[in-house]
Structure 1
Amino acid sequence: MISERLLTLRKQAGLSQQQVADAVGVTRQTVSNWELGQGAPALDRAAALARLYGVSIDDLANEEVGLVSSAGERPRRDLHVLHGLVGSAVQIELGADDLCFIPRATVLAVGDGWLRIESVEKTATFGSPKTGERRTVKLIDLADITGIAVIADEG
């Protein structure tokens, strides 16, 4: 839900509700309501929030885009090396408890605090021997990445 994303993104940015409200031109109560799922930002406010958090509007609103973050204030980093990985296939090691390793992903974009990736996940239906695949897009908090390696082309 967008409410959970807004809360996670605000915490990751280390901002208070009042700071977010001031940045996007609404009241603190409005930000609180958005985070509680009692309404959602209009398109102009969503665009301002996306800019504030360094993500796209699609990443902010699309429930199919996963959000991987242990949430908390993060120092800003020099990201020029990561920008060079856009379009590359990589393996990602995460320090977050729920995920430890993403064996293959394509780096789609790098933001101030986020790595946007696309990966393929195996799917299975209970009781069926067949497996399938589905493409997923995730935003990964850079602070949760403990290692990243480029995968050589298989050709």
Structure 2
Amino acid sequence: MISDKLLALRKRKGMSQQEVADAIGVTRQTVSNWELGQGSPALDKAAELARLYDVTLNDLASDEVDVVCPGKGGRTRDVHVLDGLVGKDVTVELADGEGALVHARLLSVGAGWIRLECDAPRAVFPTPIFREKEPPRRVLKLVDMADVAGFTVEEDAR
């Protein structure tokens, strides 16, 4: 949901609701309402928010893109060396013991974020409802580079 993304992105940026409101020309209450899911920003304000948070408008608006920034972020890293991994399958270790994203295809790198396509978690039920041959559903994730501990390139082709 866009409300969850707005809250996570604001916290990642280390800004208060008032600072965001001042930056895009709305009231603090408007920002609060957006983060609580009590309305959504108009297209012009959503575009300003996307620029403020260094994401694309599609990243902000699409329910198909998850924002992953479990930690408090931190220093911005020089990620140009990762350009050579674009298009490869990787495992991304998350900082602060938050786990890993395995079998993830690195789609792009930039602006402090990496864009990944990875398997969606499956529901766990007492009896399996998925056939073994059924391919997993793939989702897009936008991961804050400050929350990445490391990468492992997966050699096996999918």
Is TM-score (shorter-chain normalized) higher than 0.5? yes
Q: Deviations over 1:12-56 (max 9, x none)?
A: 011121221222222222111111112110111111111111112
Q: Give the Cα separation in 1 of the matches to 2:118 and 2:48.
A: 28
Q: Secondary structure at the match of 1:10?
A: helix
Q: Give the Cα separation in 1 of the matches to 2:65 and 2:130.
A: 28
What is the TM-score normalised by the length of structure 2?
0.83
> How far apart are 1:124 and its partner, in Å?
6.3
Question: Which sits farther off after the overlay, 55-64 or 1-10?
Answer: 55-64
Query: In the alignment, what sits opposite 2:140?
Result: 137
- CA RMSD in angstroms comes to 2.4
Write the mapping of 1:17-56 to structure 2, written as runs, cut at 5 A. 17-56=17-56
Q: Letter of the aligned partner of 1:148 in structure 2?
A: F
Please state which structure has a larger fraction of its residues in strand: 1
Aligned length: 154
Q: Deviations over 1:73-97 (max 9, x none)?
A: 5222222112333222211112355
Query: In the alignment, what sits opposite 1:67?
Result: 67
Is the Cα contact below 8 Å between 2:18 and 2:28 reproduced in 1?
yes
Q: Does 1:106 align with 2:105?
A: yes
Q: Give the Cα separation in 2 of the matches to 1:40 and 1:46.
A: 8
Identity of aligned pairs, percent? 53
Q: Give the Cα separation in 2 of the matches to 1:100 and 1:85.
A: 20
> How far apart are 1:71 and its partner, in Å?
4.4
What is the TM-score normalised by the length of structure 1?
0.84
Q: Does 1:76 align with 2:79?
A: no
Q: Give the Cα separation in 2 of the matches to 1:77 and 1:129.
A: 40
Q: Letter of the aligned partner of 2:137 in structure 1?
A: R
Unmatched runs of 5 consecutive residues or more in structure 1: none
* Shift in alpha-carbon separation, 1:111–1:54, aligned structure 2, 3 A: farther
Q: Give the Cα separation in 1 of the matches to 2:56 and 2:101.
A: 22
Unmatched runs of 5 consecutive residues or more in structure 2: none
Q: Deviations over 1:90-146 (max 9, x none)?
A: 11112355x512221111122323211001346468433614311111111222211
Q: Give the Cα separation in 1 of the matches to 2:140 and 2:77.
A: 23
Q: Give the Cα separation in 1 of the matches to 2:19 and 2:137.
A: 38
Q: Does 1:16 align with 2:19?
A: no
Q: Give the Cα separation in 1 of the matches to 2:40 and 2:17.
A: 15
> How far apart are 1:67 and its partner, in Å?
2.2
